[in-house]
């Protein structure tokens, strides 16, 4: 009994020690990073007082009239305000392709554009690809060929793959690999992704 109490105390104080010492280490090692974080918090508070702008967007055929802060990216708008969480945030810096959507039919990284800049445009996300319960041929091909493992990159891969065929850049395996290079897959499903795209391309169906 007595021993147990002691144990708890030691554990608690050790945890506190780690907390404090890691905070000190953080300040000592990266002072300006900490200052940056503090400034950002201050920013978040002021944000609510700053004026919002109105934006009209057509997302998957549905018109939305929204009031947003200019600094909201298209990706954050889709995920956090329209709750279309199929579009993923991987890196948030244009380096992975998980956030790929179509704007007026062309593939882009939604993390690298502001939602206000897309005023009046037609946005298609992974949620808008299937026709009701009928999957898009590219979605079917990804399932058939096991074009994923964890699935995190998959919505971006599929949006990119559809555009890759539409652009006319899916004639050979080498061309597909080059034109799909903007979509990184941490699970390394690349060979199966290429197979899926090749099959849809050869099938000749309109995508």
Partner 1 sequence: MRQFTYLRPSTSKAAIDALSKDPNAQFIAGGTNLIDLMKKGVMAPEKLVDINNLPLKEIKKQTGNLHIGALALNSDVSENKLVTQYHPLLSLALKAGASAQLRNMATVGGNMLQRTRCFYFYEPSLPCNKREPGSGCGALEGVNRMHAIFGWSDKCIAVHPSDMAIAMVALDASVLVYGPKGNRRIPFQDFHRLPGDTPEKDNSLEKGELVMGVEIPDGPFTKNVHYLKVRDRASYAFALVSVAAALNISGKTIKDARLAMGGVAHKPWRLLDAEKALIGKPATEETFKQAADIAMRGAKGFKYNSFKIPMGKNAILDALKTAAAKV
Ligand X SMILES: Cc1cc2nc3c(=O)[nH]c(=O)nc-3n(C[C@H](O)[C@H](O)[C@H](O)COP(=O)(O)OP(=O)(O)OC[C@H]3O[C@@H](n4cnc5c(N)ncnc54)[C@H](O)[C@@H]3O)c2cc1C
Residues that bind ligand X (CB under 6 A): 94-95
Q: Which is nearer to partner 1, 59 or 180 (CB)?
A: 180
Q: Mention every residue, 6+ apart, whose C-beta is less than 8 A from residue 165.
A: 138, 197, 200, 201, 207
Give which of ligand X, ligand FES, partner 1, none residue 32 binds (C-beta under 5 to 8 Å, depending on kind): partner 1
Phi, psi (rounded to 5 degrees) for 86: -65, -40
Distance CA 15, CA 123 (A): 49
43 binds partner 1 (CB under 8 A): yes
Distance CA 117, CA 124 (A): 16
Which residues contact ligand FES (rule: CB under 6 A)?
89-92, 94-99, 109, 111, 148-154, 185-187, 189
- What is the closest distance, in whole angstroms, from the C-beta atom of residue 132 to ligand FES in the complex? 26
Instruction: Using CB atoms within 10 Å of the CB of residue 111, give its burial: 0 to 12 exposed, 13 to 18 middle, 19+ buried.
Output: buried
Q: Which is nearer to ligand X, 72 or 196 (CB)?
A: 72
Phi, psi (rounded to 5 degrees) for 100: -65, 125
DSSP-derived pairing of the beta strands 62-68 and 106-109: unpaired
Give which of ligand X, partner 1, ligand FES, none residue 52 binds (C-beta under 5 to 8 Å, depending on kind): none
* Whether the Cβ atoms of residue 76 and residue 91 lie closer than 8 Å to each other: no
Q: Which is nearer to ligand FES, 45 or 93 (CB)?
A: 93
Q: Which is nearer to partner 1, 112 or 135 (CB)?
A: 112
31 binds partner 1 (CB under 8 A): yes
Pick from 63, 93, 131, 206 the residue near partner 1 by CB under 8 A.
93
Phi, psi (rounded to 5 degrees) for 164: -60, -45
* Whether the Cβ atoms of residue 171 and residue 198 lie closer than 8 Å to each other: no
Give which of ligand X, ligand FES, partner 1, none residue 31 binds (C-beta under 5 to 8 Å, depending on kind): partner 1
Which residues are at the interface with partner 1 (CB under 8 A)? 30-33, 36, 40, 43, 46-47, 50-51, 53, 69-71, 73, 92-94, 97, 100, 106-109, 112-114, 116-117, 119, 160, 163-164, 167, 169, 177-183
């Amino acid at each position: 009994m007595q021993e147990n109490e002691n144990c708890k105390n030691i554990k608690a104080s050790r945890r506190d020690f780690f907390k404090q010492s890691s905070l000190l280490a953080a300040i000592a090692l990266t002072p300006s990073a900490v200052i940056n974080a503090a400034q950002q918090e201050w920013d978040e508070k002021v944000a609510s007082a700053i004026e919002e702008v109105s934006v009209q967007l057509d997302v998957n055929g549905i018109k939305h009239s929204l009031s947003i802060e200019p600094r909201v990216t298209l990706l954050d708008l889709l995920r956090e305000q329209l709750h279309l969480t199929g579009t993923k945030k991987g890196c948030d810096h244009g380096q992975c392709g998980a956030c790929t959507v179509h704007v007026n039919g062309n593939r882009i990284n939604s993390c690298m554009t502001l939602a206000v800049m897309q005023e009046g445009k037609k946005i298609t996300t992974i949620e808008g690809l299937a026709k009701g319960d009928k999957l898009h041929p590219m979605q079917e091909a990804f399932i058939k060929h096991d074009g994923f493992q964890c699935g995190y990159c998959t919505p971006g891969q599929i949006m990119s793959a559809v555009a890759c065929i539409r652009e006319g850049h899916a004639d050979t395996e080498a061309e597909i690999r080059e034109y799909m290079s903007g979509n990184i897959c941490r699970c390394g499903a690349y060979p199966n992704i290429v197979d899926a795209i090749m099959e849809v391309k050869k099938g000749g169906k309109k995508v």
